[in-house]
Amino acid sequence: MVTKEFLVEKLKEENTYTLSGSGNVQILEDNILFMRRYNLLGGGIKNALDGHYCFVVNIDTFKYVAWKDSDYGSLTWTMPIDNKIFVKVCKANKEKIEQIIAAHILSSYYYDDKKSLIENGYTHHLLCDWRKYPDDLGKLDKMQKLAVDKLKNK
């Protein structure tokens, strides 16, 4: 698993773990996590992210994939994207995306014992493991399945 030092280096500053926003982190496989980041704004940067994005990361290698989940509609609604595809991460976005992913990993924790995923990490994002449930809750969607296949053992 990646170390706290590696993640803090990605953040540029340790106390910026809140860059990850809010929301839970889902365990897709033992070493693969899913996270969604809402309200990423372009901010005038060429090729910037705008909308809601999903990220799946292999926490052993820090290899990840991303896709746009929806466009903005307004502050209270979004416009779904019918044909979701993985987005190529350009250099202008790479640092920001890696900060968001590092912040999620660094601040994920288990509900039962409040133990951080990363030793001496933070408790900001609840880790959800729905794999044990037989109903739809534990099933991966199409993009999550593709992401796991792409990242497994890499």
* Burial of 16 from C-beta contacts in 10 A (0-12 / 13-18 / 19+): middle
Q: With contact defined as beta carbons under 8 Å apart, do 14 and 8 qualify?
A: yes
Q: With contact defined as beta carbons under 8 Å apart, do 56 and 151 qualify?
A: yes
Which contiguous run of DSSP H or E holds residue 9? helix 4-11
Rounded Cα gap, residues 148 and 109, in angstroms: 21
Its pTM stands at 0.86
Structural domain boundaries, residue 71: 4-151
**Mean pLDDT, residues 133-153 taken together:** 85
Q: With contact defined as beta carbons under 8 Å apart, do 105 and 118 qualify?
A: yes
Q: With contact defined as beta carbons under 8 Å apart, do 123 and 114 qualify?
A: yes
Rounded Cα gap, residues 100 and 8, in angstroms: 11
Q: What is the mean pLDDT of the chain?
A: 83
Instruction: Give residue 28's pLDDT.
Output: 94
Q: Tally the domains of the chain.
A: 1
Q: Please determine, for residue 39, whether its predicted confidence score (pLDDT) is greater than 70.
A: no
Q: Please determine, for residue 41, whether its predicted confidence score (pLDDT) is greater than 70.
A: no
Q: Please determine, for residue 16, whether its predicted confidence score (pLDDT) is greater than 60.
A: no
Instruction: Give residue 33's pLDDT.
Output: 96
Q: What single letter denotes the amino acid at residue 45?
A: I
Residue that is written with structure tokens 């999903």 in the block: 54
